[in-house]
Amino acid sequence: MKLIVLGSGTCAPSLKRNAPGYYLEAEGTQILIDCGSGTLLQLEGARKSYKDIDAVFITHRHPDHFADLMPLIHALLATPNFRRMKDISIFGPGEFMAYYKKSIAPVLGKPGEFFIRTVESRDKFDFGPFHIFTAKTIHSNDSIAYRFEHRGKSLVFTGDADYDQGIIALAQNAGLLIADCSFPDSMKAKGHLSAKECGLVAQKAEVKKLLLSHLYPADTPDKDRIEESKESYDGDIVLAEDLMEMEI
């Protein structure tokens, strides 16, 4: 599997960190996990085309995680001299799907080639070459985390999440955990993991590598969160950067 971090930031505007978005590819299947504002431009920067995306997986109904979904669909429908020849699927929790049907579909219509699926917590299904598992997170009413498996490899996206046993269970023995590291420990906020808590989840789940992402601006340098995570996790820790690429 190939991962590209399209956005390692949050809702706070930043020239360094785009809103949340990740590109994942395996066996020619190309998907997005979250699609925050600016994701389409970040895809261009990563030399990947929005025209080739097979599916979008949304973690929850907060704008910084789905704001570019409407521009993506609009671009697929209206780009001159382009006609999409394959389906695109959109996956997300119930509250997001209700919003989609009420606020996005009426603007763009409901093209027959769009497949929409509501994802429940503790769900299990396949898409392309991926085996996918989900878990409810402590953040909002509809927030979920995703686990993707392919040929014995696995990675987990916490989405926005606070510390709980559900995330630890979902991330068990994962090759890569992409964690909501919104703040350093001194700025711990309800509904988000602190740096030390990211390390604790990684340690208890026995993951091979921890990627700290969803980084809000803070009073201390971002790299300090690595040291805080090391207090509870003795594995490999990486600080996410926009357009970073990783092989899993």
Would you say residue 101 has pLDDT above 90? no
**Residue 173, token pair as written in the block:** 């023995």
Flag whether 212 is in a domain: yes
pLDDT of residue 84: 82
pLDDT of residue 112: 55
Tens-place pLDDT, residues 5-16: 999 999 999 999
Would you say residue 120 has pLDDT above 90? no
Sign of the alpha-carbon torsion through 122, 125, 126, 131: positive
Tens-place pLDDT, residues 198-217: 999 999 999 999 999 999 99
Burial 116-126 (b: 16+ CB within 10 A, else e): eebbebebeee
CATH number of the domain bearing residue 120: 3.60.15.10
Sign of the alpha-carbon torsion through 25, 30, 36, 41: positive
pLDDT of residue 89: 92
Tens-place pLDDT, residues 169-185: 999 999 999 999 999 99
Flag whether 51 is in a domain: yes
Would you say residue 38 has pLDDT above 60? yes
* Average pLDDT over every residue of 54-77: 95
Instruction: Indicate the SS3 state at residue 142.
Output: coil
Question: What's the domain count of the chain?
Answer: 1
pLDDT of residue 229: 98
- The whole-model pTM stands at 0.96
Flag whether 248 is in a domain: no
Flag whether 11 is in a domain: yes
* Average pLDDT over every residue of 141-170: 97
Flag whether 236 is in a domain: yes
How long is the chain?
Answer: 248
The CA distance from 239 to 213, in Å, is 7
* Average pLDDT over every residue of 87-115: 83
Flag whether 245 is in a domain: no
Flag whether 247 is in a domain: no
Domain that residue 43 falls in? 2-240
Question: In the Cβ-directed half-sphere of 137, how many Cα atoms lie within 13 Å?
Answer: 31
Average model confidence (pLDDT) for the chain? Answer: 95
pLDDT of residue 111: 54
Would you say residue 110 has pLDDT above 70? no
